[in-house]
Amino acid sequence: MSITARASTASMSAGVQWFHSDACRLEDFVRTVSVETRLEDYPFAHRVERNVLIYGPELQQRAEDPAGRRDIQAELVRALTDGPGIVVFKEAFADTAVVDRATAAFIRLIEAQKAAGTAAGDHFAKPGANDRVWGALDKLAVAEPEVFADYYGNDILALVSEAWLGPNYQVTSQVNVVNPGGAAQTAHRDYHLGFMGLEEAQTYPAHIHRLSPALTLQGAVAHCDMPIESGPTLYLPHSHKYPAGYVAFHRPEFTDYFEQNFVQLPLAKGDAAFFNPALFHGAGHNRSADIRRMANLLQVSSAFGRAMETVDRTSMCKALYPIMQEHRAAGSSERSVRNVVAASAEGYAFPTNLDRDQPVGGIAPESQAGLVLRALKTGLDQAAFEAELDAQQQRRRTQVG
C-alpha cells in the first residue's frame, strides 16, 4: 500500500470507536485500492495478473520442506493482509479426476434436493437463481467417504488455512452452481460482519471490524473451466484494507465503484482461490449459453470462534420467559429486558443448518435472541413460545445419513 493510502486508512481508524456508513468517503476507498501488487515482493508467486497473485503448481512440492513451508505461509499471510487480499493457486488439484468425482457427488445431492422440492436460499442473490448445497462438507463425507478423503487430502487447503488461522481450524463447505443466465451477486464482504444488515454491523465497535477477518478464510475450488463469459467471481484487490468496509459496502456509491473497477479472472478446473473475507467480491453474471459454473465454496474458521463452556440456552429461555413477561408488565425498561435476553439467549444466527434454517428473504436466519424479543413484543403465550423455540432448535440441528 502506498504511503498516501496508508495515511488515509490510518486517519480513518484513529480515534474511531464505531464505524458509520455516513462517514465513509469514496475518495478514501479509491486511494486504498489504487495500489500495485508487485511480483518482486512475493518470491514464491508465479506472476501477478490484474493485481492478483498467481501461484503455480510447483508450490505444493516446495511446501513439502518444513522450513520452506513456513516461508511460503509467511508470504501468504502478507498477501492476504498487506497485499491484494486474494491469491490464486493454479492446478491446486493436479488430478482433476478427484474434482470430477466430487462434482458427480454434488450433482446427485442437487438432484435429490430438487426431487424433494427444497429450495436453497442465497445470501447475496435471489432465491432459486442458483443451485446451492448447504452443509456440503458432512454430506460428502457421509455419502462418499472415499471421495472426501481424496479431495480434502489436498495440501493447498491445509497450507493456506494454517497460514491464516493456525492449527485446529474448522472447515465448512457450500456448493454453488450459477446456471446460464444467472445474475451477478451484489458486491459484499463475507462472514462474520458481512452477513449482517447495516444497522447491526454498525453496533459492533471498530476493533471488532478489524478482528473479524482474522477469524475466517474464504476459498473456492473451480469444479469446471470458468471462462469470463461464465461469470467467475468478481474481486476488488486491496479493498480489504478499507477499515469501514463492512458498513461501506451497503452504500450505493461503493457498489457502483466496484461494478466499474472489479477484477475477474478465468479459472480452470482444479484451480483454487483464497481471499481475505473483508475483500469486496461477488459472483459474476453467467452470460454463457451452456456452462453451469460450479464451485465448492470453502469457509475455514478459527479454532477460537467458540465459548469455553457449553450452555443450555433453550432451557434458560423457557425458564426466563414468564419472568421477562412479568418484568415488562411491571414497567421494567426495555433495556433491562434486552440485557436479560443478551445474557441468556443465543444472540447469533450461526452456526446453523442452512438446509432447514435458510436465509431466504434475508442475509441470516432469525437468532434465538431475536425469537425471544419477537415473542415478548407480540405477546406469545408460554406454550406457543416454547413450541417456536423447539422448532427453531430442530431446524438448527444437523444430521446426515
Determine the Cα–Cα distance for residues 318 and 120; give it in Å rounded to an integer.
31
Determine the Cα–Cα distance for residues 387 and 389; give it in Å rounded to an integer.
5
H or E element: which one contains 388? helix 382-396
Contact yes or no for 260/201 (Cβ under 8 A) = no
Contact yes or no for 136/174 (Cβ under 8 A) = yes
**pLDDT band, residue 401 (cuts 50/70/90):** low
What's the whole-model pTM score?
0.86
Chain centroid to Cα 154, Å, comes to 21
Determine the Cα–Cα distance for residues 299 and 192; give it in Å rounded to an integer.
11
Determine the Cα–Cα distance for residues 123 and 189; give it in Å rounded to an integer.
11
Burial environment of residue 136 by CB neighbours within 10 A (0 to 12, 13 to 18, 19 or more): buried
Which pLDDT score, from 0 to 100, does residue 348 have? Answer: 87
Cβ partners under 8 Å of residue 66, min gap 6:
none
Which pLDDT score, from 0 to 100, does residue 125 have? Answer: 54
Residues 313-331 pLDDT 10s: 999 999 999 999 999 999 9
Which pLDDT score, from 0 to 100, does residue 3 have? Answer: 47
> For the residues of 290-339, what is the DSSP string, one character each?
S--EEEEEEEEE-TTSS-SS---HHHHHHHHHHHHHHHHHTT--HHHHHH
Q: Is the pLDDT of residue 120 over 80?
A: no
Residue 138 CA: distances (Å) to CA of 106, 134, 173, 400: 12, 10, 9, 7
Q: Roughly how many angstroms between the first and final C-alpha of the chain, as a whole number? A: 49
Cβ partners under 8 Å of residue 35, min gap 6:
1, 2, 5, 238
Residue 286 CA: distances (Å) to CA of 148, 179, 228, 397: 28, 7, 8, 34
Give me the domains of the chain, ranges plus CATH numbers.
Answer: 3-301 (2.60.120.620), 313-396 (no CATH)
Determine the Cα–Cα distance for residues 179 and 291; give it in Å rounded to an integer.
7
The proportion of the chain whose per-residue pLDDT surpasses 90, expressed as a percent, equals: 80
Residues 69-111 pLDDT 10s: 999 999 999 999 999 999 999 999 999 999 999 999 999 999 9
Q: Helices (H), strands (E): how many in the chain?
A: 16, 11
Residues 196-230 pLDDT 10s: 999 999 999 999 999 999 999 999 999 999 999 99
Q: What is the bridge-based pairing of β-strands 130-133 and 293-301?
A: unpaired
